Amino acid sequence: MVLNWKPMAEGGGRRFKFIGCEIIYREACALAASVPHRVDVEFLLKGLHDLPRADMLARIQAVVDAADPDIGYEAVLLGYARCNDGLVGLKARRIPLVIPRAHDCITFFFGSRDAYQAYFDQHPGTYFMSTGWTERNQFGEKGYARPAYGMEGVMAKLGLAEPYDVMVAKYGKDNADFIIESLGGWQKSYSRSLYLEMGVCDERPFMESAKERAAQQNWEFEVRKGEWGLLRKLFCGEWDQDFVVVPPGGMIVARNDGSVLDVELAPATAEAQPG
């Protein structure tokens, strides 16, 4: 495993609760085992991203609210980004929340928003892969009907997640064929695949799987070493301008500028802030 930083001195005495998407399961566990702080980890299924925004938010809010403040958590660390606004509106109750300023989790593997943006600008049409995206992404095997926790996804609510024979019966063969083609059409938006190697284990099987998938889609394939900077700072408690710290009573809000995310304070909390 390549975790290229020196651990902080012993006796840090800090305690955090981490709640994140299973896409970063291996990376988060590696960090929890490496930093000097005690970090209790909890993961939610990747399929939350396929739910309507309000459903995703409600699920995450319930897990955040279940974190027991009497345990002594200094903060709840969120292994999420803006995620199609699925985290917008999330509230801190009695424990502060900390979330990276990022549009999606791919930023975690690049180590910063700037690095991700630079790569994206130079290589549009890239499908990103990692250990989590390889082993925990179903690639449509379960369809769109129940992406996580038995809940209906967006496509199911539109009535477009039935088996092919049901679609034929409801819409006719031509329309059913068009729907199936449209659902699979997202792949046409990509021309290359990038695997981000984080060094959490022997990743050769994951890279081979990603390479095979790229070949099936006639995509170019590349491997790049990932960067730990952003995730390391999250777990080490080094919350600089790359993070939003939400105090109790505050709420995560979206910003359509370089900051991506911000905090909206409750009136009483805002008045208590130094002017």
The predicted-structure confidence for 70-85, as pLDDT tens digits, reads as follows: 999 999 999 999 998 9
Kindly state whether residue 213 falls inside one of the protein's structural domains.
yes
Average the pLDDT over 16-27 and give the result: 97
Mean residue pLDDT across the chain? 84
The pLDDT tens digits of the residues spanning 184-197 come to 555 678 899 999 99
Residue-level pLDDT at 166: 63
Reduced to 3 states (helix: H, G, I; strand: E, B; else coil), residue 152 is: coil
Kindly state whether residue 217 falls inside one of the protein's structural domains.
yes
| Cβ count within 10 A of residue 152 | 17
Kindly state whether residue 268 falls inside one of the protein's structural domains.
yes
Average the pLDDT over 120-130 and give the result: 95
**Is the pLDDT reported for residue 274 higher than 70?**
no
Residue-level pLDDT at 191: 93
Q: Which amino acid is it at 124? A: P
R_g (Cα) of the chain, nearest Å: 20
Average the pLDDT over 89-98 and give the result: 97
The pLDDT tens digits of the residues spanning 54-74 come to 989 999 999 999 999 999 999
Give the chain's domain count: 1
Kindly state whether residue 230 falls inside one of the protein's structural domains.
yes
Residue-level pLDDT at 49: 74
DSSP code at position 8: P
Average the pLDDT over 171-175 and give the result: 65
- What DSSP string runs through 160-198? --S-HHHHHHHH-HHHHHHHHHHHTGGGGG-SEEEEEE-
Alpha-carbon gap, residue 211 to 71, rounded angstroms: 44
Per-position b or e across 111-135, b if 16+ CB within 10 A of its CB: bbbebbeebeeeeeebbbbbbbbbe
**How would residue 159 be classed by pLDDT, with cut points 50, 70 and 90?**
low
Per-position b or e across 159-168, b if 16+ CB within 10 A of its CB: ebbbeeeebb
**Is the pLDDT reported for residue 118 higher than 90?**
yes
Kindly state whether residue 254 falls inside one of the protein's structural domains.
yes
DSSP code at position 105: T
Q: Is the pTM of this model over 0.95?
A: no
Kindly state whether residue 231 falls inside one of the protein's structural domains.
yes
Kindly state whether residue 8 falls inside one of the protein's structural domains.
no
Alpha-carbon gap, residue 101 to 108, rounded angstroms: 10
Question: What range does the domain containing 138 cover?
Answer: 15-272
**How would residue 8 be classed by pLDDT, with cut points 50, 70 and 90?**
very low
Average the pLDDT over 152-173 and give the result: 58
Kindly state whether residue 64 falls inside one of the protein's structural domains.
yes
Residue-level pLDDT at 143: 42
